[in-house]
A and B are shown apart, each in its own frame.
Chain A
Amino acid sequence: MAERATSLGWQVIRGYAVLVYIFMFLPVMVVVLLSFNASQFGSFPMTGFSFRWFIELWENEAILRAFRTSVILGLLTAAISTTLGVLASLALVRYRVPGANMISTILIAPILVPEVVLAVALLLFLNFLGVNKSFTLLLFGHVIFTLPFVILVVQARLISIRRDVEEAAMSLGASPVQTFFQITLPLMLPAVLAGALFAFTISFDDITGTLFWKPGGVETVPTQIFAMLRNSISPEINALGTVMIVMTVGLPLLGAAIARQISKKSGL
Chain B
Amino acid sequence: MSSVTLNNIVKRFGSFTAVHRTDLEIPEGAFLTLLGPSGCGKTTNLRMIAGLLDPTEGEILIGGRRVNDVPIHKRNLGIVFQNYALFPHKTVAENIAFGLKYRDVPSGDIPGKVQAALDLVQLPDVGHRYPKELSGGQQQRIALARAIVIEPDVLLLDEPLSALDANLREDMRVELKRIQDQIGVTTVFVTHDQSEALAMSDQIVVMSAGRIEQVGAPQEVYNNPASEFVANFLGASNVFPAECLEAGPSGAVLQTALFGKVPLPVEKSMRVAGAGPAKLVLRAEKLQVMKAGATPEGMITAPATVETVDYQGQTVRYFVRVGDTQLQAINMIDGYPFSKGSAVTVAFRPRDGSALAGR
| A residues with CB within 8 A of B | 162, 164-165, 167-176, 178-179, 182-183, 186-187, 265-268
Q: Given contacts A167-B52, A169-B98, A267-B132, are A174 and B85 in contact (CB under 8 A)? A: no
Q: Do B72 and A265 touch (CB < 8 A)? A: no
Q: List the A side residues contacting B150 at CB < 8 Å.
A: 172-173
User: In the docked arrangement, what's the CA distance between A175 and B70, Å?
Assistant: 12
Which interface residue of B75, B82, B86, B98 has the most chain A CB atoms within 10 A? Answer: B98
Q: List the A side residues contacting B103 at CB < 8 Å.
A: 173
Asked if B77 is an interface residue, CB under 8 A from chain A, the answer is yes
The 5 A-B pairs with the shortest beta carbon distances in the complex, nearest first, are: A173-B102, A267-B132, A172-B99, A266-B89, A164-B85
User: In the docked arrangement, what's the CA distance between A20 and B329, Å?
Assistant: 71
Q: Do A162 and B98 touch (CB < 8 A)? A: no
Q: Given contacts A173-B102, A183-B87, A266-B89, are A168 and B79 in contact (CB under 8 A)? A: yes
Q: Do A172 and B146 touch (CB < 8 A)? A: yes
Q: Given contacts A172-B102, A173-B99, are A167 and B81 in contact (CB under 8 A)? A: yes
Q: Do A167 and B73 touch (CB < 8 A)? A: no
Q: Do A187 and B88 touch (CB < 8 A)? A: yes
Q: Do A171 and B77 touch (CB < 8 A)? A: yes
Contact of A170 among B72, B86, B87 (CB under 8 A): B72
User: In the docked arrangement, what's the CA distance between A54 and B88, Å?
Assistant: 46
Q: Do B87 and A162 touch (CB < 8 A)? A: no
Q: How would residues 148 to 179 of chain B score, 1 for a CB under 8 Å from any chain A CB and 0 otherwise?
A: 00100000100000000000000000000000
Q: How would residues 44 to 80 of chain B score, 1 for a CB under 8 Å from any chain A CB and 0 otherwise?
A: 0000001010000000000000000001111111110
User: In the docked arrangement, what's the CA distance between A28 and B259, Å?
Assistant: 92
User: In the docked arrangement, what's the CA distance between A175 and B74, Å?
Assistant: 8
Looking at chain A's contact residues, the main secondary structure is helix
Q: List the B side residues contacting A179 at CB < 8 Å.
A: 73
Q: List the B side residues contacting A172 at CB < 8 Å.
A: 73, 98-99, 102, 146-147, 150
Q: Do B72 and A165 touch (CB < 8 A)? A: no
Q: How would residues 101 to 135 of chain B score, 1 for a CB under 8 Å from any chain A CB and 0 otherwise?
A: 11100000000000000000000000000111100
Asked if B83 is an interface residue, CB under 8 A from chain A, the answer is yes
Known contacts A171-B73, A171-B79, A266-B88; 13 further A-B pairs (Cβ under 8 A) = A165-B88, A168-B85, A168-B86, A168-B146, A169-B87, A171-B77, A172-B98, A172-B147, A173-B102, A174-B73, A266-B89, A267-B130, A267-B133
Q: With both chains docked as a complex, state the minimum distance between the C-beta of A54 and any C-beta of chain B, in angstroms.
A: 42
Q: List the B side residues contacting A173 at CB < 8 Å.
A: 73-74, 76, 99, 101-103, 150
Q: Do A265 and B52 touch (CB < 8 A)? A: no
Q: List the A side residues contacting B131 at CB < 8 Å.
A: 267
Contact of B102 among A165, A174, A186 (CB under 8 A): A174
Q: List the B side residues contacting A183 at CB < 8 Å.
A: 87
- Can you list 23 residue pairs at the A/B interface with Cβ under 8 Å? A164-B81, A164-B82, A167-B50, A167-B72, A167-B79, A167-B85, A168-B79, A168-B81, A168-B143, A169-B87, A170-B73, A171-B73, A171-B77, A172-B99, A173-B74, A173-B99, A173-B102, A173-B150, A187-B88, A266-B88, A267-B88, A267-B130, A268-B89
User: In the docked arrangement, what's the CA distance between A165 and B73, Å?
Assistant: 14
Contact of A162 among B78, B79, B83 (CB under 8 A): B83
Which interface residue of A162, A173, A174, A265 has the most chain B CB atoms within 10 A? Answer: A173
